[in-house]
Amino acid sequence: MPTPKIFVDACFGKETPYTPVWMMRQAGRYLPEYMAVRAQAGNFLNLCHNPEMACEVTLQPIDIVGVDAAILFSDILVIPDEMGMDLSFVKGEGPKFSDPITNESDIDKLIGGEEAASKLTYVYDTIKLIKTKLAEDKALIGFTGSPWTLATYMIEGQGTKTYNICKKMMYSNPELLHKILAKVTEVVKLYMEKQIQSGIDVVQIFDSWAAAIEPNKYDEFSWKYMVEIAEYLKEKYPQTPIIMFPKGVPAFLDKVYGNFDVFGVDWSTPMELAREKLGDKYVLQGNMEPCRLYSKEATTEAVEDIQSVMQGKRHIFNLGHGILPDVPVEHAKHFINECHRVSKK
Catalytic residues: 25, 29, 38, 75, 153
Nearest to 331 by CA among 302, 304, 278, 292: 292
C-alpha distances (whole Å) from 18 to each of 33, 123, 337 are: 28, 31, 11
The DSSP code for 327 is S
Of 13-21, 74-82, 103-111, 119-127, the window that binds ligand 1CP (rule: CB under 6 A) is: 74-82
Is 28 a binding residue for ligand 1CP by CB under 6 A? The answer is: yes
CA angle 110-164-263, nearest 5°? 75
CB hemisphere CA count around 144 (13 angstroms):
30
Determine the interface stretch with ligand 1CP among 69-77, 192-200, 263-271, 272-280 (rule: CB under 6 A): 69-77
3-state secondary structure of 205: strand
Give the binding range for ligand 1CP (CB under 6 A) out of 67-75, 221-229, 265-273, 287-295.
Answer: 67-75
Residue 236 CB, nearest approach to ligand 1CP (Å): 23
Given 16, 19, 26, 60, the residue binding ligand 1CP (CB under 6 A) = 26
**Minimal distance in Å, beta carbon 56 to ligand 1CP?**
13
- Contacts with ligand 1CP, 156-185, as mask; x by CB under 6 A: ---x--------------------------
The type of residue at 54 is A
- Dihedral sign (CA 249, 265, 191, 261): negative
Task: Identify the residue among 10, 62, 67, 77 touching ligand 1CP (CB under 6 A).
Answer: 77
Number of residues that bind ligand 1CP (CB under 6 A): 21
Binding positions for ligand 1CP, 181-210, rule CB under 6 A = 206, 208
For ligand 1CP, the binding residue among 27, 31, 134, 212 (CB under 6 A) is 27
216, 260 contact by CB (below 8 A): no
Check residue 94 for interaction with ligand 1CP (CB under 6 A): yes
Q: Is 38 in the site for ligand 1CP (CB under 6 A)?
A: yes
Q: Which stretch binds ligand 1CP (CB under 6 A): 20-28, 103-111, 213-221, 229-237?
A: 20-28
Question: What is the Cα–Cα distance from 338 to 256, expressed in whole angstroms?
Answer: 31
Adjacent-strand bridge partners of 142:
203
Distance, CA of 120 to CA of 49 (rounded, Å): 9
Binding to ligand 1CP by residue 293, rule CB under 6 A? no
Q: What is the DSSP string of 136-190?
A: TTSEEEEEEE-HHHHHHHHHHSB--SS-HHHHHHHHH-HHHHHHHHHHHHHHHHH
Cα gap 265→275, rounded to integer Å = 10
Q: Give yes or no for residue 96 binding ligand 1CP (CB under 6 A).
A: no
Specify the stretch interacting with ligand 1CP by CB under 6 A; choose among 18-26, 218-226, 273-281, 337-345: 18-26
Q: For residues 203 and 142, is the Cβ–Cβ distance under 8 A?
A: yes
| Residues at the interface with ligand 1CP (CB under 6 A) | 24-29, 38, 44, 71, 73, 75-77, 94-95, 143, 145, 159, 206, 208, 322
